[in-house]
């Protein structure tokens, strides 16, 4: 069993930052997860979408299109799209048509 070692600090140069390639690999597994959340929202349910590896501008545009599709409000927070209400099936179909691998997570 070989373990991969990675240098994180050198006494000559200090902290060694990871390369861009390794940062992109650790961003996600390529699966978009759609989940319904209620906790911490005063009983109001929202549908959250995470796992999209898109720049902020494209993520906001996608969120806008999905909100229009559902006819409701929402937001983008920390790379997670939040859509008000339970629209998991409708969002799953829309994202699959755009070529994303989608899983429904949670209950």
Q: How far apart are CA 44 and CA 48, in angstroms?
A: 13
Q: pLDDT category, 9, cuts 50, 70, 90? A: confident
Range(s) of the domain holding residue 89: 29-105
Q: Is residue 16 part of a domain?
A: no
Residue 19 pLDDT exceeds 50: yes
Q: For residue 81, is it within any domain? A: yes
Give the tens place of pLDDT for each residue, 58-84.
999 999 999 999 999 999 998 899 999
CATH of the domain at 56: 3.30.780.10
Token duo for residue 10: 């050198």
Tokens 């899983």 belong to residue: 103
pLDDT of residue 24: 44
Give the whole-angstrom CA distance, residue 80 versus residue 26: 17
Question: For residue 91, is pLDDT > 90?
Answer: yes
Helix axis angle, 56-70 to 88-97, nearest 10°: 130
The number of domains in the chain is: 1
pLDDT at 48 over 70: yes
Q: In angstroms, rounded to a whole number, what is the distance separating the alpha carbons of residues 53 and 50? A: 9
Residue 31's SS3 state is strand
């Amino acid at each position: 069993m070989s373990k991969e070692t990675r240098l994180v600090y050198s006494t000559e140069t200090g902290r060694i930052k990871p390369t861009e390639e390794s940062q992109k690999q650790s961003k996600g597994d390529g699966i978009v997860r759609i989940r319904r959340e209620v906790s911490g929202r005063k009983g109001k349910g929202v549908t959250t979408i995470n796992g999209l590896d898109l720049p902020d501008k494209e993520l906001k545009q996608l969120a806008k299109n999905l909100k229009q599709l559902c006819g409701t409000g929402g937001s983008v927070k920390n790379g997670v799209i939040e859509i008000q209400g339970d629209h998991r099936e409708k969002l799953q179909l829309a994202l699959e048509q755009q070529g994303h691998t989608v899983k429904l997570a949670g209950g």
